[in-house]
């Protein structure tokens, strides 16, 4: 199955059970406060999230995870190399998790990441993801979906740019579907919104592969979205967990 796109289609499918359907990451607050009220404001909200967070945190998370696995996969039996790999993964995990200012967003990201890890371990038991799972169980890492995705895509031999683009697609698609569930837009409008973001997803993935950021330059600039995430727990009624 090395290099085959079918496993990637399965991982990016909205039906893949990561639990993302339970989290809105501040979108429900935006809906309640009328920041997002139609297809146009939803698109703007998603574009801002893409540029302010996904492009600068989650997408680089996939990139660096993929890179580290590719670099060290053949040397996991060598203790010094394995230790260096684990230290790099732990640092990446910290930055991806702690960059989320809202507690609900951090917890939601961790829950999705751990569920994604459980599913991929079931599907690909020889992918060496046991290393990451052990680090989470020991309390060394929190658990992050971007790291899992980069890890498993490197193992499957998926093109790196495609790995990044599909992770972004999966994350955005989950939010679009949650907007549909919240009845702010219909199914057709949801698909149009998703399609309108394809060029941005492609550009982010391409730019990242061409000019990867420094490892220590990962940052979260989607502050308004984080504040909406913080206000989520005070909403009068809630459909989502975050």
From first to last of its 242 residues, the chain has per-residue pLDDT tens of 665 788 888 888 878 888 777 878 888 888 888 999 999 999 999 999 999 999 999 999 999 999 999 988 777 777 788 888 999 999 999 999 988 888 888 888 999 999 999 999 999 998 889 999 999 999 999 999 999 999 999 999 999 999 999 999 999 999 999 889 888 888 999 999 999 999 999 999 999 999 888 877 788 888 888 888 888 888 777 767 66
Dist. CA 26–CA 16, nearest whole Å: 22
pLDDT at 242: 67
User: pTM to 2 decimals?
Assistant: 0.93
Measuring CA to CA, which residue among 240, 204, 227 is closest to residue 100? 227
pLDDT at 118: 95
Measuring CA to CA, which residue among 206, 120, 205 is closest to residue 164? 205
pLDDT at 113: 92
End-to-end CA distance of the chain: give it in Å, rounded: 36
| DSSP run (H or E) holding 182 | none
CB atoms within 10 A of CB 209: 18
User: How does pLDDT run across 130-155, given as a tens digit for each residue?
Assistant: 999 999 999 999 999 999 999 999 99
User: How does pLDDT run across 36-63, given as a tens digit for each residue?
Assistant: 999 999 999 999 999 999 999 999 999 9
Superfamily for domain range 6-12+20-234: Urease accessory protein UreF (1.10.4190.10)
Contact 106, 59 (CB under 8 A): no
Sign of CA dihedral 27, 29, 32, 33: negative
pLDDT at 3: 59
Dist. CA 98–CA 133, nearest whole Å: 19
SS3 content of the chain, % helix, strand, coil (to 5): 70, 0, 30
Dist. CA 197–CA 122, nearest whole Å: 32
Domain segments of the chain as ranges: 6-12+20-234
């Amino acid at each position: 199955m090395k290099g085959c796109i079918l496993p990637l289609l399965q991982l990016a499918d909205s039906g893949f059970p990561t639990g993302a359907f339970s989290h809105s990451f501040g979108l429900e607050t935006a809906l309640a406060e009328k920041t997002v009220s139609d297809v146009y404001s939803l698109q703007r909200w998603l574009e801002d999230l893409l540029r302010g967070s996904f492009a600068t945190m989650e997408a680089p998370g996939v990139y660096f995870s993929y890179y580290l696995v590719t670099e060290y996969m053949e040397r996991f039996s060598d203790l010094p190399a394995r230790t260096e790999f684990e230290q790099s993964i732990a640092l990446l995990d910290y930055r991806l998790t702690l960059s989320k200012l809202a507690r609900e967003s951090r917890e939601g990201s961790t829950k999705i990441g751990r569920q994604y890890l459980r599913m991929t371990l079931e599907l690909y038991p020889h992918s060496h993801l046991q290393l990451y799972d052990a680090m989470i169980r020991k309390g060394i890492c929190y658990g992050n979906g971007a790291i899992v995705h980069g890890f498993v895509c490197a193992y499957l031999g998926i093109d790196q740019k495609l790995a990044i683009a599909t992770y972004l697609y999966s994350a955005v698609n989950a939010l679009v579907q949650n907007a549909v569930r919240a009845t702010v837009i219909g199914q057709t409008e949801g698909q149009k919104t998703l399609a309108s973001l394809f060029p941005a997803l492609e550009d982010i993935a391409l730019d990242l592969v061409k000019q990867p950021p420094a490892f220590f330059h990962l940052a979260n600039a989607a502050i308004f979205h984080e504040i909406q995430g913080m206000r989520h727990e005070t909403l009068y009624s809630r459909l989502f967990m975050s």
